[in-house]
Chains A and B, each alone.
With several copies, the nearest count.
Chain A
Amino acid sequence: MKYQAVIDDQKFEVQIIDEHTLTVNGEESSINFRQGQKPEHFSLILDGQSHQVWIEECQPCRDGKPSIVRIHLHGFDYEVQVDTERSLKLREFVGTSSSSEVAGQINAPMPGLVVKVLVENGQEVKKGDGVIIVEAMKMENEIKSPIDGIVSEIHVQNRQAVEKGETLIIIG
């Protein structure tokens, strides 16, 4: 079975030969992969090296779409996009699904309380300018604009409680 795994600009062609063997970009490796004590916990012995890995699926795989998996490994996190041959072909055909991310959309990074909205609708802001102050666990956090632009939407007001991920402000 052939797969492609992508991390940033690194592409790995992984072919699973059997339970104990795979190739990565043509190079053979011995593997011993076992689920551990919890659903997301795995032990991988790769060419004799022992790794503990925690795996969470960020974006479940559906036919024709890649799966994105978050790998926690030796204290660091990696998001890996995994494609099968089929999903790769389908994507070539339909094109990559467009990202749901909006560059200038500012969401609450944690649950908390809006202390002060620092901008007004229509105001011009530069990347790095503070636009809103959110308090969580008694600490004030100033959130900065990720882009240069104009404030197009303000969804919250002072002293309002917000959930994590809630859209606060949109810079157009």
Chain B
Amino acid sequence: MFKRILIANRGEIAVRIIRAASEMDIETVAVFSDADRLALHTRLADYAYHIGLSPSQESYLVIDRILDAAQKSGAEAIHPGYGFLAENADFARAVADAGLTFIGPPPQAIEDMGLKTRAREIMIAAGVPVTPGTESAIDPGPEAAKIAEQVGYPVLIKAASGGGGKGMRVVETPDDLIKAMESASREAASAFNNPQIYIEKYLEGPRHIEVQLLADQYGHTIHLNERECSIQRRHQKVVEEAPSPVITPDLRAQIGAAAIKAARACGYYNAGTVEFLLDRNKNFYFIEMNTRLQVEHPVTEMTTGIDLVKEQFKIAAGEKLTIQQEDVTIHGHAIECRVYAEDPLNNFYPSTGMVKYLHPPAGPGIRNDSGIYEGGEISIYYDPLISKLVAWGRDRSEAIVRMRRALQEYHITGVRSNIPFCLLVVEHPKFIEGDFDTHFISDHFRIEDMAPGPVDKEKIAAIAAVLAYHAKPAASVSASQPQNDGVSPWLSSGRRLGLRTR
């Protein structure tokens, strides 16, 4: 096993990896940008190396600086986390060329699965079902319009190197096609350094089901059941769970077998995820393979008991998988909410600033993987993920009430968060019934229809305001800067804010 590894990442996932390594007596090397000098991952690692300025293009995305830190620190292997360089085949190759081990899949698999068009070809050849659409990249223009017409509207524009909803657009009518393709292409260029996009049939009311895989370097591949990730906003997952409320044991075996077939088709090893869409008739279609650890991996960990990051280390170190397919069971139910620093009342725009008060939830069944701390800054430079909040229960309904309780317990001031929005989701009758698809949020939570918070708390708010004023009549209640939200400067009278579903 490795003695020392470098983590080419930051925030909660870097902390997650440090924890697994520490439990295996592996020393960790953090890398940090200017903005992250005091970040949790910098402080919790055994070693820490500065790799540049705050923008990730000048630090976390600079391969040479990361390899340089690895050499200096004597790390033997590099874990890329998710995001940044995690799905960059050039990085994986550069790590190997430097004589180090990449804790992830083989570079060729990253490359093949990274180009969505190439991935589709491989899956078709292997007999894994895919959605109809183009097989290669296409420019905005008359030809694209023709193909979209053939496939049938609505269509989905996706970045060839995409992931996480970036560079993705749903197009309902031919009129919007070119503008959407241009915008998607720009976003793709900015996010992935590759403006190429392609067109896929947009399924109506599908569920997003993905299968977690583990494969060692000796051809042993197992699946760790599915995750249900249909609760998405702008193609970004918000709430994930395991198992899916609609997958039967039979279907689980089928979709698990398809995922294993997909992994074998690209010579995969290490941890990976095959994403499928499930239509209303329970047909499933391959959409892509994520060749890395995923944000939502804890729901699988909490229902199987398997620590995925530890398995990644073991596989990368050349160990054989000791878990057999029949060892993988389902223990209870787990739900994850991605808690973001974003303002649900201001179009979910990222909310940056200093975390002034932080009370994370805890207690039975709760796991909160966080990368922030009181007094720390949530900056413009990186994804505004505050934490992955996970609730486990003996069954789905217990997991839901625990998540609700944890969200109610969770207090953050200084930045706005999507916690009130997550609460609305897990309290929604359709969510509780398990009756939803990927349109759940857009169907039930049209932002422009959201009403202010409950009226019955107004009296309490009024009393608190008067008492605070009374206690410090001529001075400032707190030294804090007023939060100017730009679009709506502070009104000159009181108002009720908050969220309520239609």
A and B touch in the complex (CB under 8 A): yes
Interface residues of A (CB under 8 A from B): 1, 3, 5-8, 10, 12, 14, 16, 22, 24, 29, 31-46, 48-61, 66-82, 84, 96-101, 106-112, 115, 133, 135-141, 143, 146, 164-166
> Given the complex of chains A and B, what is the CA–CA distance between A43 and B47 in angstroms?
12
Taking A76-B498, A138-B166 as given, write out 19 further A-B residue pairs in contact, using a Cβ cutoff of 8 Å, ordered by the A residue number: A1-B470, A3-B470, A40-B477, A45-B42, A50-B42, A70-B483, A75-B423, A75-B453, A76-B454, A78-B465, A81-B494, A107-B486, A109-B346, A109-B487, A110-B352, A137-B383, A139-B187, A140-B186, A164-B352
B183 contacts chain A at the CB level, 8 A cutoff: yes
Known interface pairs A3-B469, A31-B467, A69-B468; A43-B356 also in contact (CB < 8 Å): no
> How many residue pairs, one in A and one in B, have C-beta atoms under 8 Å apart?
279
Smallest CB-CB A-B distances: 7 pairs: A37-B375, A76-B453, A80-B465, A5-B462, A76-B498, A57-B477, A107-B486
Query: Is A59 a contact of B482 with CB atoms below 8 Å?
Result: yes
CB distance from A169 to the nearest CB of B (A): 12
> Given the complex of chains A and B, what is the CA–CA distance between A58 and B462 in angstroms?
15
CB distance from B445 to the nearest CB of A (A): 16
Query: Is B454 a contact of A38 with CB atoms below 8 Å?
Result: no
Known interface pairs A59-B482, A107-B487; A77-B497 also in contact (CB < 8 Å): yes
Q: Which residue of B lies closest to A96 (CB)?
A: B492
0 or 1 for each of B486-500: is its CB under 8 Å from A? (1 = yes):
111111111111110
- Please give the number of chain B residues whose Cβ is less than 8 angstroms from any Cβ of chain A in the complex: 91
Which of A12, A71, A84 gathers the greatest number of chain B CB atoms within 10 Å? Answer: A71
Interface residues of B (CB under 8 A from A): 29-30, 37-38, 42-50, 72-73, 166, 183, 186-187, 190-191, 234, 345-347, 349-352, 356-357, 373-376, 380-384, 407-408, 411, 413, 419-420, 423, 452-455, 457-471, 473-474, 476-480, 482-499
List 12 contacting pairs A-B, 8 Å CB cutoff, sorted by A. A6-B493, A32-B37, A37-B374, A37-B375, A38-B375, A44-B463, A55-B465, A80-B494, A109-B485, A111-B352, A139-B187, A140-B186
Q: Which residue of A lies closest to B73 (CB)?
A: A48
> Given the complex of chains A and B, what is the CA–CA distance between A16 and B323 in angstroms?
54
Query: Is A138 a contact of B478 with CB atoms below 8 Å?
Result: no
Query: Is A72 a contact of B373 with CB atoms below 8 Å?
Result: no
> Given the complex of chains A and B, what is the CA–CA distance between A48 and B186 in angstroms?
39
CB distance from A68 to the nearest CB of B (A): 6
Query: Is A164 a contact of B486 with CB atoms below 8 Å?
Result: yes
Which chain A residues border B42 with CB–CB below 8 Å? 43, 45, 50
Which chain A residues border B470 with CB–CB below 8 Å? 1, 3, 16
Query: Is A79 a contact of B491 with CB atoms below 8 Å?
Result: yes
Query: Is B467 a contact of A44 with CB atoms below 8 Å?
Result: yes
Q: Which residue of A lies closest to B498 (CB)?
A: A76
> Given the complex of chains A and B, what is the CA–CA distance between A45 and B492 in angstroms?
29
CB distance from A75 to the nearest CB of B (A): 5
> Given the complex of chains A and B, what is the CA–CA distance between A7 and B374 in angstroms?
30
> Given the complex of chains A and B, what is the CA–CA distance between A3 and B423 in angstroms?
34
Known interface pairs A48-B49, A50-B42, A164-B484; A37-B373 also in contact (CB < 8 Å): yes
Q: Which residue from A8, A41, A112 sits with its C-beta under 8 Å from B380?
A: A112
> Given the complex of chains A and B, what is the CA–CA distance between A22 and B186 in angstroms?
48
Q: Which residue from A45, A54, A110, A138 sits with its C-beta under 8 Å from B349?
A: A110
